[in-house]
Structure 1
């Protein structure tokens, strides 16, 4: 039996000092400080530090996040000309099969990108530049030929066509195990104990293999996309099944993408985007999966014990997805829920639907929303409205769209501000306790019997401002009582 005592700890929203006892990977006792009598392998004096449930990132793309660290950084660009300048600089040090970049947001550019402009700068070097929302890429003719893609006159490949080409791009230069380990350890250093993986890959096979090879700092719930669903069903996988020997990897949900994104102007809305009023096909966005097809997919999942998570960003997409869940009488998760019709907020709670949201997106996209959803932004990224309507919220990053750091999401959700700007629709702020609990799977405090997935904080989130929240100092992170991050000097002996 292994016993660890975290002594002189504080729980969130409490000044009382307690001892948290961890026995064989579970919280076995929480008692007033100094009253534990159990023989402990290791007793660590936390000196009043906060102990809380470990944090989860409820939506990310781990491979894309890992690769993003080595791609050309386009996040600060504000025009096509800016991007081309970055590409010129990158070409000087180019090695490998593709020059790839990440992070441009063309929704507010003064002029659109062009295929001819990118070709003129890059020549025969295959170049793929990925948008900050992951829903399109600006690529040159050389890259399109290598990836079997067909860019339009802007050089853009969007939505499903880009998802296919993007997988081929990853396969040409996949991350190393060392890179995966480093990314997982960096997340643990921010208090993350688990993530929900929505990468469009064979996650059921890939993640247990990674965990066995030392990518073991996090719990990972793995999603399956529709094209892999028949095999998952045939193999007997159900949501919650443990997939690896360490118990770190579990089967998650069916992931279905029914529309696009705001920046790419493909999120499916009831009203057209500015300048696209006469486009009767794509003026209001793109439906990548029809309600009828979605219904078929959800029935298949439900009948085989697999829960569902559906990407819906535009208000029409959200209305239609909510409608399908309601018709089937099944619970589920709606990923993003960025623009919601006023009549639909209450339906989340009524139908037991979780709103899986990424608050940092509101900070990244506020200017794009003001431009392309003008007159509707009071119900865009409307986390306050969802909370007041009784919806269950879960917070994530959608990394690499936003950094894999839950404190960014918590700060954005509670302040609706970043970089010194005024709060954007402050009526949509979440209370801090709600944002924290939504990052801790619903609870602010560990309880006896819990698996010991814990975070130790050097500061109290309730006593700091938004900027300090983003920099929240994390002293230690434990997964199943095992230290995955340790600035206390205790992990080796615990």
Structure 2
């Protein structure tokens, strides 16, 4: 059999024009599946024939280009159903603060890494988690180590930023008492800081998309703040992305989207269907690490104080109003809800509006709310890596309630549809990390955290593929080829799964072909 070698045109990893057909031979059809042959043409799977000759239409004979995959495993293409693409792409070029155990440790990193320039450019860092720190972030710590250069450090959950006095002065907040800003103020401050030129960020994003394709990703839902629709239309006019993109809409741009007639799932740009309109992003609360997730019970040590139960980002009445307006014009809502009270509010709104949509995160749930996801057709967009990253902070701040935190097995048992994401840059844009965390409920040497909420490998793969369980005739040719059968892989191998090749819309976006 002749190997297929593609010409590299348009997308990284080669291109198959609509008229080109390709046969994938000697490939295992899904985890634990049989050997099979597939034919791809026009961006679709046109034939599937199992080794014993059953299960598909007769394969065309002669003239087809054939690629022998030597018994590797073919899976439906993977999605990251929650990313902030510009933030993720930028974070890959920022000071890495992940794993720091104290505010003092962060200041030490800033001292070591921040003195290389005196031109006044902002030193950006990303990834600190202060929920368990013994000391508090304060501008004095940063002023002591880097007084003259502006410093802006973003928390891992994107809900807080820590600035020194020089940076606070840049954004007109020189009198801020601590330099630690959260939620709305955080977003306002970061928006006011000098940004990298759009062309630079677009280049970073193109690189990030190629890196995602190298991990088997064929599509993302981009919840980047701002005007993601316009940004992606600009990018796709210059070059089609290496992954499919559903670009979210924010409330400030809802009226403009309605006026344009945009609907969730509608094609955008010139990418031939690679770029589509995503959901309307709405917020009910904050986050666990900032202790702003809206909960029924107060946070330890905060009872009786303002914000002791978290914060309400959007009132229930306004949430219903926005959801109703969006749904009436074909735009599905995606509601950020982390605390148990926030999830109840979000589900109440879906019940009132009677529309389909998503709840993003769904981290802490009341038992009576579990069946409501399936009842109202609400997808739970969850991030399994958060369960392992945040287990310690959850044990502290949600003490006595963690049996219903990140309750993925309970959601599935209640009939909910799960879709995995990373919330990148909150965790890396790598679906195999999500799969491994969902299956193991641990990412270190400790035993599984609430092992009753573990998922099976097949269920985790389905959630990572936006509900695709099988590869069938007529499916989009969004496929990933891996070297190890996930059913036979241990947790470490799942995390580092060797991805041989990735195909999106019938075009190779990663691999040796």
> Would you say the 8 A contact 1:150–1:157 is kept in 2?
no
1:220 partner SS:
strand
Aligned-pair CA distance for 1:18: 0.9
Match of 1:58 in 2: 81
2:418–2:463: 8 Å Cα contact kept in structure 1?
yes
Matched, 1:387 2:405: no
Q: Offset of 1:376 from its aligned partner?
A: 0.8
Between stretches 144-153 and 429-438, larger displacement belongs to 144-153
Query: How far did 1:484 drift?
Result: 0.3
Query: In the alignment, which residue of structure 2 is the partner of 1:21?
Result: 39
Task: Please tell me whether the aligned partners of residues 482 and 501 of structure 2 are also in contact (alpha carbons under 8 angstroms).
Answer: yes
Deviation at 1:14, TM superposition (A): 4.2
Q: How big is the shift at 1:352?
A: 1.2
What is the aligned partner in structure 2 of residue 417 from structure 1? 442
Q: Does 1:399 align with 2:417?
A: no
In the superposition, the TM-score normalised over structure 1's length comes to: 0.95
Of 67, 70, 74, 2:90 maps to 67
Residues 243-293 of structure 1 show CA distances to partners (whole Å, capped at 9, x for unaligned) of 0222211001100011100000100111111121121x2111111111111
Change in CA separation of 1:349 and 1:370 when aligned onto 2, cut-off 3 Å: same
| 2:49 counterpart residue number | 31
1:233 matches 2:277: no
Under a length normalisation based on structure 2, what TM-score does the superposition of the two structures give?
Answer: 0.92
- Tell me the equivalent position of 2:15: none
* Runs of 5+ consecutive residues of structure 1 not aligned to the other structure: none
Query: 2:286 is matched with which residue?
Result: 260
| In structure 2, distance between residues paired with 1:438 and 1:396 | 9
Q: Following the alignment from structure 1 to structure 2, what is the Cα–Cα distance between the partners of residues 201 and 301?
A: 17
Q: Is the 8 A contact 2:31 2:458 kept in 1?
A: no
Q: Is the 8 A contact 2:31 2:73 kept in 1?
A: no
1:250 is matched with which residue: 276, 283, 288?
A: 276
Q: Is the contact made by 1:223 and 1:254 (CA closer than 8 Å) also made in structure 2?
A: yes
Structure 2 partner of 1:294: 319
- Structure 2 unaligned segments of length 5 or more: list them: 1-18
Task: Quote the Cα distance in structure 2 between the aligned partners of 1:48 and 1:172.
Answer: 45
CA deviations over 1:398-447 (Å, ceiling 9, x no partner):
00000000000000001001122211111111111111001112122211
Distance 1:21 1:172 in 2: 44
1:127 paired to 2:145: no
Q: Quick check: 1:157 aligned with 2:181? A: yes
* SS of residue in 2 equivalent to 1:59: strand
Deviation at 1:88, TM superposition (A): 0.4
Relative distance call for 1:41 and 1:363 in structure 2 (3 A) is: same
Deviates more, 1:304-313 or 1:148-157: 148-157
Closer, same or farther in 2 for the Cα pair 1:275/1:215, shift >3 Å? farther
Q: 2:403 aligns with which of 378, 383, 403?
A: 378
Name the counterpart of 2:511.
486
CA distance in 2, matches of 1:261, 1:229: 24
8 Å Cα contact 2:100-2:128 kept in structure 1: yes
Paired residue total:
487
Name the counterpart of 1:353.
378
Shift, 1:115, TM fit: 2.4
Give yes or no for contact 2:302–2:308 (8 Å, CA) kept in 1: yes
The SS at the match of 2:230 is: helix
Task: For 2:175 and 2:71, locate their aligned partners in 1 and report how far apart those are by CA, in whole Å.
Answer: 57
Aligned with residue 473 of structure 1, among 492, 498, 505: 498
Distance across 2 between alignment mates of 1:140 and 1:13: 51
Match status 1:166 vs 2:178: no
Please report the RMSD computed on the Cα atoms of aligned residues, expressed in angstroms.
1.6
- CA contact under 8 A between 1:2 and 1:40: conserved in structure 2? no
Counterpart for residue 4 of structure 2 = none
1:138 aligned residue (157, 162, 167): 162
User: For residues 102-113 of structure 1, what are the structure 2 equivalents within 5 Å?
Assistant: 102-113=126-137
> Is the partner of 2:343 in helix, strand or coil?
helix
Q: CA deviation at 1:79?
A: 0.3
1:107 partner SS:
coil
Name the counterpart of 1:114. Answer: 138
- Please point out which of 475, 485, 504 is paired with 1:450: 475
Tell whether the 8 Å contact from 1:415 to 1:423 is kept in structure 2 after alignment: yes
C-alpha distance in 2, partners of 1:445/1:170?
Answer: 46
Cα offsets for 1:363-392 (capped at 9, x unmatched): 111111011111111111111111111111
